[in-house]
Structure 1
Amino acid sequence: MRKPTTTTTTIQPSTTLSPSSHFAPRTPLKLHPPPSKPHKHSLKILCSQAPNPPSSQTLTLVSIFRAIPDWADRIKERGMQKNRKLYSHHDWLQHRSSLRHIRHLLTSLSSRVILSLVPPVIAFTSVATAIASYNTAVSLHWLPGFLPVLRASPLPYQLTAPALALLLVFRTEASYSRFEEGRKAWTKVVAGTNDFARQAIASVESSSDALLKEALLQYIIAFPVALKCHVIYGSDIGRDLKNLLEVDDLAVVLSSKHRPRCIIGFISQSIQLLNLEEEKRHVLESKISCFHEGIGVCEQLMGVPIPLSYTRLTSRFLVLWHLTLPIILWDDCNWIVVPATFISAASLFCIEEVGVLIEEPFPMLALDDLCKLVQNNIQEAMANEKMIRERLVSKRKKVPREHSPNGLPAS
């Protein structure tokens, strides 16, 4: 009768160890391990084995769905920061070449406009594929019979198609008018800079003002560069003005909040310090007005976009149009709705994308080349000033030749 009691006493330690055997190493010497250590280890292991919280899974899904749009946006922004160039005669010959269509087709995959359309085109083509798959499954009775086939009359699309076309045309036309306004503003700035430099070269004749005259011309050259950096995101004004201004002047410009107006201050103070007649000084000061006008137009174009309600309306119209397009075309096209949706989304969203890109006109203009052209023209005028003056003075000193009354040269 004592045998069962001995077996219970031998089994009892093993039963006490069994719950903690998964959390602590099995050591035969320690029959009763401290309760705190298994408790700590169990918490760590349970935390490590617990599934990811919903927030992290949501963030992972969002990051996956945002991967393609982020990639397309990076390509678009790199294209926006690309330097444009002024066209030469060779560029115009290539521009109107008969092979331009083939060249444009072969370079489609490198176009930032086309690559930026990858997210919406993939999304709407996927929706069209899903709708076509659903309708096919319902038609083949793979799904319950109470589910309807997604189809509709094309009459609403026939009525709203002209409205969508007009909306896209007006959107693109409004964007191009902003591009044209920005181009004209920079044309006036470039022409005003050249005229200002010419007037300064012709007005300042005193040798005592030679250094101040040279500084004034450098400030005039620096203004278009500062305005370019002011309107284009990501420009390095310190690098662009490093070879145009002295170190102290550049430090003052970089420390100011509005760099183009700071350079206008340098120009205005230089004109006041020159030994000039009042009439010539007034003429030079009147040339500064074109700089203020250029700043005003550029800042207005940068700060005031096309009314946002117009942009949102165009975007929403395009999205709803392509979400319902497979349903409208199903009866006539069946599975052809997938390539039809792809072509429609690629073409219509491309028009809208071009309008959005040229809405900000300054990255589309060859401003770097324009500033370089202004610099070369003014530096050439400065270099030729002395030689031109000497030639004209020598001609003034020449005695004019007398001609005989009968028109023959005098002997």
Structure 2
Amino acid sequence: MTNPIKNPAKLSSPSSSCSSSHFTPKTLFKFHQSPLQFPSNNKPPKPNPKFICSTKPSTNSSSSPNQNSNLLSILLAVPEWADRINERGTKKKRSLYNHEDWVLHTSSTRHVRHFLSSLSSRVILSLVPPVIVFTSVAVVVASYNSAVTMHWLPEFFPILRASSLPYQLTAPALALLLVFRTEASYSRFEEGKKAWTNVIAGTNDFARQVIASVESPNDSLLKKAILQYVMAFPVALKCHITYGSDIAQDLQNLLEVDDLAVVLSSRHRPRCIIEFISQSLQLLDLDAAKLNMLESKLCFFHEGIGVCEDLIGIPIPLSYTRLTSRFLVLWHFTLPIILWDDCHWIVVPATFISAASLFCIEEVGVLIEEPFPMLALDELCHKVQSNIKEVMRNEKLIQARLNTKRKSHHKKHSPNGWPASFEDRRPG
């Protein structure tokens, strides 16, 4: 059995711990690892806080993590900046084209205009991180090969070169992969556009059917409420499928305060508005045929919700997207080595042009894979509201005009010269 420590006070002496010039962290490690036996009370002496505080890390060990964190933050600054630009572009409101927009879109000067606006394009700005990385790799490869060629490095360092035959064989595969990826994304964009075309057409048709079917003066207030719900449905669906939408602000001028509170408390706002419409139809003074006809029109709303939710929740198979990305990355990492014998330092601009063009095609496919930020949904919703409000304003004017024509039917001929009744149109 080892002897107990004779003078434990020396261990805990502040003067000995703080004034010793030979203390190292290894000393503290030995203290913790040595099998020391304490006096008979079996209680280890309490550690001296001053002794523990005296083991300060060296300046060199503390500066390296800070330098690494600063370097990491600098490297991540460019991708974060590009992502913020991409996010702002996604939230940008689109507008429907008119005749002047189409004239500008098909102008012969569009190529110059598009080239001069390259620095403001979010597609191009979002490609800054990968293009910088691959161009930097080309610079490193070119510098290394130049140093080896000029014998600035030892002779056992080889020149990085390879045959271009593998690239000639795989280039068509990469082109087809990019084409199929972009075509699949555009088909999703087309499907989203068709879904919203059906939603807008179904909303206008349903509003027309309500205006034409509800004739009782007792149902005028309920009829107005149903039309408000119909106008609110596209807005709720737009907010349901687009990120960052403020549904409370968009619906505050369409729904009453109590109705809006119920919609906002619901987990699925578009279906909540459909329930408002369905229960309101049951309260109308309509026969069974008209009621069933109006209820059947609601299927267009449910179909629109289903298609939009499928497009948002189910992307293109991730293996397809990952394969395209990995193929492009491997291609451009090895491109400077392949082109060195033919291009030498021209591999730097060649890599830049190749990365900018091919990654741009892939970026466009990724952007239109989510179709709804690319559509003018706000303009479509406003257009539906203006159309329904115009029909509501013109309803009484049209009815008055038709009643006037009906009362003037007793006249033999109408003012435009045609016979007023069917009997007058018969020959002889």
Shorter-chain TM-score tier: 0.7 to 0.9
Find out whether 1:386 has 2:396 as its counterpart: yes
User: Matches of 1:398 and 1:284 in 2, distance apart?
Assistant: 33
Describe the shift of the 1:243–1:48 C-alpha distance in structure 2 as closer, same or farther (beyond 3 A). Answer: farther
Find out whether 1:171 has 2:181 as its counterpart: yes
1:170-212 superposed Cα distances (whole Å, 9 cap, x missing partner): 0000000000000000000000000000000000011111110
Q: Secondary structure at the match of 1:83?
A: coil
Query: What is the 5 A alignment of 1:69-148?
Result: 69-148=79-158
RMSD: 2.2
Residue of structure 2 in register with 1:375 after alignment:
385
Residue of structure 1 in register with 2:363 after alignment:
353
Find out whether 1:208 has 2:188 as its counterpart: no
**Structure 2 counterpart of 1:160, one-letter code:** T
Query: What is the 5 A alignment of 1:214-253?
Result: 214-253=224-263
User: Matches of 1:60 and 1:229 in 2, distance apart?
Assistant: 39
For residue 199 of structure 2, the aligned residue among 189, 203, 206 is 189
Q: Secondary structure at the match of 1:399?
A: helix
Describe the shift of the 1:40–1:50 C-alpha distance in structure 2 as closer, same or farther (beyond 3 A). Answer: farther
**Structure 1 counterpart of 2:146, one-letter code:** T
**1:40 CA displacement:** 8.2
**Structure 1 counterpart of 2:286, one-letter code:** L
Residue of structure 1 in register with 2:375 after alignment:
365
Residue of structure 1 in register with 2:273 after alignment:
263
For residue 254 of structure 1, the aligned residue among 252, 259, 264 is 264
User: Matches of 2:227 and 2:112 in 1, distance apart?
Assistant: 47
Describe the shift of the 1:50–1:158 C-alpha distance in structure 2 as closer, same or farther (beyond 3 A). Answer: closer
Q: Secondary structure at the match of 1:52?
A: helix
> Is contact 1:117-1:350 (8 Å) kept?
yes
1:339-386 superposed Cα distances (whole Å, 9 cap, x missing partner): 000000000000000000000000000000000000000001001101
**1:399 CA displacement:** 3.3
Find out whether 1:335 has 2:337 as its counterpart: no
**1:61 CA displacement:** 2.9
User: Matches of 1:112 and 1:275 in 2, distance apart?
Assistant: 54
Q: Secondary structure at the match of 1:398?
A: helix
User: Matches of 1:390 and 1:267 in 2, distance apart?
Assistant: 28
Deviates more, 1:109-118 or 1:393-402: 393-402
Find out whether 1:153 has 2:167 as its counterpart: no
**Structure 2 counterpart of 1:395, one-letter code:** K
Q: Secondary structure at the match of 2:62?
A: coil
In percent, how many aligned pairs have the same letter?
72
**Structure 2 counterpart of 1:341, one-letter code:** T
**Structure 2 counterpart of 1:143, one-letter code:** L
TM-score computed with the length of structure 2 as normaliser: 0.84
**Structure 2 counterpart of 1:309, one-letter code:** S
For residue 331 of structure 2, the aligned residue among 321, 327, 336 is 321
**Structure 1 counterpart of 2:228, one-letter code:** Q
**1:62 CA displacement:** 2.4
Q: Which stretches in structure 1 are left out of the alignment for 5+ residues?
A: 1-15, 23-35
User: Matches of 1:229 and 1:38 in 2, distance apart?
Assistant: 61
Residue of structure 2 in register with 1:305 after alignment:
315
**Structure 2 counterpart of 1:130, one-letter code:** V
User: Matches of 1:47 and 1:292 in 2, distance apart?
Assistant: 65
| Higher relative contact order (CA closer than 8 Å, sequence separation 6+) | 1
Q: Secondary structure at the match of 1:345?
A: helix
**Structure 1 counterpart of 2:309, one-letter code:** E
Q: Secondary structure at the match of 2:160?
A: coil
1:304-327 superposed Cα distances (whole Å, 9 cap, x missing partner): 000000000000000000001001
**1:213 CA displacement:** 0.4
Describe the shift of the 1:134–1:372 C-alpha distance in structure 2 as closer, same or farther (beyond 3 A). Answer: same
> Is contact 1:20-1:38 (8 Å) kept?
no
For residue 284 of structure 1, the aligned residue among 291, 294, 298 is 294
User: Matches of 1:375 and 1:317 in 2, distance apart?
Assistant: 47
**1:51 CA displacement:** 3.3
**1:64 CA displacement:** 1.8
Q: Secondary structure at the match of 1:51?
A: helix
**1:273 CA displacement:** 0.5
Deviates more, 1:107-116 or 1:48-57: 48-57
TM-score computed with the length of structure 1 as normaliser: 0.87
User: Matches of 1:243 and 1:408 in 2, distance apart?
Assistant: 47
**Structure 2 counterpart of 1:51, one-letter code:** S
> Is contact 1:127-1:323 (8 Å) kept?
yes
**Structure 1 counterpart of 2:97, one-letter code:** Y
